[in-house]
Amino acid sequence: MTFSTQPKSVDANGDNSISLARACVPGLLLLGIELAGLLMAARLVDLEITPFSAGVALLIAGSGLVMPVLRPGADTRLAAILAVLLAGLLVVPFDLSSVNLSTSGPLLHYLTLHTLLRYLNGTLAIPVALHLVSGFPQRSPAAMKAATSNRQLLIFYLISSLLTIGVLVVPQGGLRVAIGIPMIGWMIFLLALAHIQLIRVSREPDPAWLRSAHQARLLLLGFLLAEAPLLLRLLLSGLGWPQAIPYNTALLFQVFVPLTVAYAIRQHDLFEIDATVRRALAYTIVSAVLLGIYFGFTYFLSQLLSELLPQFQAAAILLGLVAAALAFRPLYTRLVRFVDKLFYPERLAFAQVIADVRARLQQVATRRQIVTLLEDDLPAGLNSLWGTLVFAPAHDLPGRRETPPAWNGRMIVGERMLGRYWLGPRRSGLAYGPEEQAQLAAVISQAGLALAYAEALEDLNELNRNLEREVRVQTAQVLDQQRALAVTEERQRLARDLHDSVTQTLFSISLGSRALSKLAPRDPQATAQGLVEQEAAAQQALAEMRALLAQLRSPLLAEGDLTQALRAHCAQLAGLGLTVRLEISPEMSLETSGGLPVSGAVSSELLNIAREALHNTLKHAGVSTATCRLAREADDIVLTVQDAGGGFATVAGASRPGHGLGLHSMAERAEKIGGTLTIDALPGQGTTVTVRVSQANASLAGQ
């Protein structure tokens, strides 16, 4: 995860934090050179330095030199160098009428020392100013892309140096003018480029860089107020009106530079000097108090030991110093803690708040919890004015806030940006230090991972909900299909049952009635006998219909196992004129086996096959007895229905009417339960129907 926080300015090596010596020595060394040059020039000519010009120069140089002392860094070092160059340029009044570019011989031979110093200060100050604003602190990434690169700055310095030296050493006056005019245009170009850099930063639309925009506006205003009268005076002086704008008037406007810089430091923490100064001042006071207490305690302890042990006065004084030295460190630690508690209580509570938030981030599981933690709990714990989490693809701060943001961080997990967190300033006005910003970045990093986890969890839950809905829909569809299939199967079963019982009887009655209608005119007695037989057939059909309806109301398998259902059905057939001898092996009986030997689905199909075969015997075999056998043979369940009736031919077209549908029905039932159906029948030799089902398909009890 990467983060975008308000960056500090950097030097060429990318590091703004440098030692105090590296930050201060260049400015002090340049100041020494300027003073030495002025002293040497003062011995040769009257420099006309006024108290006012000296005071303004001292104010500008001092305001610049104090910045690297307060906040050592590459940017404050450049600011100090620029301030010394401007002070050296302004301390002695000057105008362009004193410079004659058309003289023969090198101009270096004609210029006085103080004129040469002013010339060098002016030609160096402009590229240094561009260098300073090009590395302007706390700039947004968009403005940094438009800024002058280090390579470009090096080229600018090189061109400025060549033009400056060329004007000084070229011997021909015409060539000197040819170099001098482009040099003036070049300096104006660099000055304009520096202002453009400040304008870019001041117009930065991103709220995260609002403080940088305020700083750029103030510096731009100060530079314009200082430059306008000075450049106008130089222009009028070149046109022959050197006194159109008095030098002191132009000099007075130079005060705006240190004033705007001081205001930018105080109001917008330019170069982060204000926060550093306040903390340094607090610790300076603590150190002064501590030193006073330390020396007072040392003196008091030494005097006390000297009075108590006058014969060992030297040893007593040494003992007092050692005791005071041992007490110094604990006392200093307590006083520093006291100052932190007194001046910066937020920083003492910061670590605890961050630890608590990170612990809670390990327990949150929803986006709402993360938003509440970052927008409500974290700002409240840090005593910040506000906090806002903006989700991608948006990244700017929504709406306008009463105060600008003090810190912001982007949530990036892998290559995906999840959002951006904005944190307002503390109510006390204390800025977030570098260590605190690093801890905030760690919190946002963890919050990004928690947010990614919460989103993944929410997506998974939504996927589960969609899957559950789909399963319910599919289950309902399957149930509807099963119901439709059950209805279809039940209709087919009813069709088979009706065919096997009532339909065939009614078909016989229909054929007999047709024959009687033709026989009645010729043989009334035979017709009467036929009507008696038709009545008996109708009674048989009625009995079969009643038996079928009874079976529909109360299925045979509803109250017992297969063996009990077979017994009940055989009892019903006895009432219809067919005596069935039922043979059931002990291992197939519920009473003797101790459990249900055959599953319900297999039992139902076997029962229907037995009923079909027995009804065929009743209608077509021409006998009044049959045998039904249920047994287990090896690993198979075997059902056999046998009669000694007339039999039938099993070849196509040789079976009796009605046999085709019944035999097909029994074959379908056997195939449905994974069994095989065998029919052994010959005309005049009876019929044997055998169904064989493997034990595995029959789902025996205990398996």
pLDDT tens, 101-120?
A: 566 677 777 777 878 888 88
Q: Please give the structure tokens belonging to residue 524.
A: 């009334």
Share above pLDDT 90 across residues of the chain, in percent, rounded to a whole number: 4
Q: Which of 7-11, 536-540, 591-595, 621-625 has the lowest mean pLDDT?
A: 7-11
Confidence band (pLDDT; 50, 70, 90) for 184?
confident
Q: Which of 482-491, 559-568, 632-641 is modeled with the greatest confidence?
A: 632-641
Residue bearing the bigger pLDDT, 208 or 85: 85
Please compute the mean of the pLDDT values over residues 237-254 and round it to a whole number.
74
Q: Which of 370-379, 638-647, 693-702 has the lowest mean pLDDT?
A: 693-702
On the question of pLDDT at 257 being above 90, the answer is no
Domains 20-268 and 348-458 share a fold: no
Distance CA 280, CA 277 (A): 5
What integer pLDDT is reported at residue 689 of this predicted model?
94
Residue bearing the bigger pLDDT, 280 or 701: 280
Q: Which CATH number fits domain 20-268: 3.40.50, 1.10.8, 1.10.357, 1.20.1070?
A: 1.20.1070
What integer pLDDT is reported at residue 702 of this predicted model?
38
Confidence band (pLDDT; 50, 70, 90) for 12?
very low
What integer pLDDT is reported at residue 270 of this predicted model?
66
Distance CA 360, CA 348 (A): 20
What integer pLDDT is reported at residue 628 of this predicted model?
94
On the question of pLDDT at 683 being above 80, the answer is yes
Q: Does pTM top 0.75 for this prediction?
A: no
CA 296 to each of CA 96, 282, 433: distance values in angstroms, whole numbers, following the listed order: 63, 21, 35
Please compute the mean of the pLDDT values over residues 412-433 and round it to a whole number.
81
Residue bearing the bigger pLDDT, 488 or 687: 687
Confidence band (pLDDT; 50, 70, 90) for 687?
very high
- Helix axis angle, 20-44 to 51-70, nearest 10°: 160
Q: What is the pLDDT of residues 272-307, one digit of tens each?
A: 655 555 555 555 655 666 666 666 666 666 667 667
What integer pLDDT is reported at residue 14 of this predicted model?
36
- Among the residues of 254-401, which ranges form H helices? 256-268, 273-308, 313-343, 345-361, 367-372, 378-382
Please compute the mean of the pLDDT values over residues 464-492 and round it to a whole number.
81
Average pLDDT, the chain: 76
Element (H, E) at 504: helix 504-519
Per-residue DSSP letter, 595: S
Q: Which of 388-402, 472-486, 674-688 has the lowest mean pLDDT?
A: 388-402
On the question of pLDDT at 379 being above 80, the answer is yes
What integer pLDDT is reported at residue 2 of this predicted model?
32
Distance CA 527, CA 519 (A): 6
On the question of pLDDT at 468 being above 60, the answer is yes
What integer pLDDT is reported at residue 658 of this predicted model?
44
Q: What is the pLDDT of residues 500-527, one digit of tens each?
A: 566 666 766 776 777 777 777 777 777 7
Element (H, E) at 125: helix 113-134
Confidence band (pLDDT; 50, 70, 90) for 149?
confident
CA 69 to each of CA 24, 76, 262, 512: distance values in angstroms, whole numbers, following the listed order: 7, 9, 15, 131
Q: What is the pLDDT of residues 47-81, one digit of tens each?
A: 778 888 888 888 888 888 888 877 777 888 888 89
- Angle at Cα 468 formed by Cα 465 and Cα 473, nearest 5°? 130
CATH architecture assignment, domain 348-458: 2-Layer Sandwich (3.30)
Residue identified by tokens 């800025």 is 431
On the question of pLDDT at 592 being above 60, the answer is no
CA atoms within 13 A on the CB side of 493: 17
What are the residue ranges spanned by the domains of the chain?
20-268, 278-337, 348-458, 561-703
Q: What is the pLDDT of residues 489-506, one digit of tens each?
A: 767 767 666 665 666 667
Domain 561-703, CATH class in plain words: alpha beta
Q: Which of 574-578, 617-621, 639-643 has the lowest mean pLDDT?
A: 574-578
Distance CA 179, CA 165 (A): 10
Confidence band (pLDDT; 50, 70, 90) for 678?
very high
